[in-house]
Amino acid sequence: MFAFLKKASEVTIFAPISGRIIDLSQVPDEVFSKRMVGDGIAIVPSDNVLVAPCDGKITQIFSTNHALGIQTPEGLEILIHMGLDTVELKGKGFTRLKEVGSEIKCGDPIMEFNIQEVEKLGKSTITPVVITNPDKVSSLKKGEGPVEAGISVVMSVKVKASGA
């Protein structure tokens, strides 16, 4: 009844890995560059440890450990896809540190991502970080430039108030 009194909340998404932000339109994979799975940013990584970009729960980890899903307490769904076409590596270069269902705090190590091995195997290490449920987003402010895992803000997301 009083939906107009409910305020939208803001979620801060921190860098899940150190490196440099690039716009999704620059990602050489149409699924990401055309925002088919959602909007966000991508990071050209410079480090091997992927950390939780926010508080939440791990809802999915692909069997090949190259991608995972996180849900925030506000209901945002975040996909982190380590590298491009890395599913073809069948897990080579990725070491899982947390499991599906794990409650995570911003900065918690989630995955080891051996960027040197992935590059040696001929795959891009560009790591898209996207919000996959854009219907919950009222505004999205994206960061740019160099980022440090767990410290640098990569996105500020205003979540629509429930019932609005």
Nearest to 42 by CA among 80, 72, 93, 14: 80
Residue 163, pLDDT > 70, answer: no
Q: Return the pLDDT at 1.
A: 45
C-alpha–C-alpha distance, residues 66 and 129, integer Å: 12
Q: Return the pLDDT at 161.
A: 82
Cβ atoms 164, 150 nearer than 8 A: no
Segments making up each domain of the chain, as ranges: 14-159
Classify domain 14-159 by CATH architecture. Answer: Distorted Sandwich (2.70)
* Tokens 């992935």 found at: 118
pLDDT tens digits for 98-133? 999 999 999 999 999 999 999 999 999 999 999 999
* Tokens 């508080």 found at: 55
DSSP three-state, residue 40: strand
C-alpha–C-alpha distance, residues 64 and 74, integer Å: 28
Q: Which two tokens stand for residue 164?
A: 């609005």
* Tokens 């940013």 found at: 41
Find all residues with CB under 8 Å of 155, minimum gap 6, and list them.
12, 13, 40, 41, 129, 131, 140, 141, 142, 143
Task: Give the H or E element holding residue 118.
Answer: helix 115-120
Phi-psi region of 94 (alpha: psi -120 to 50; beta: other; left: phi over 0): beta
Residue 58, pLDDT > 80, answer: yes
pLDDT tens digits for 32-47? 999 999 999 999 999 9
Give the percent of the chain with pLDDT over 90. 93
Residue 3, pLDDT > 70, answer: no
Catalytic residue ranges: 81
Q: Please compute the mean of the pLDDT values over residues 4-16 and round it to a whole number.
A: 82
pLDDT tens digits for 62-73? 999 999 999 999
Residue 55, pLDDT > 60, answer: yes
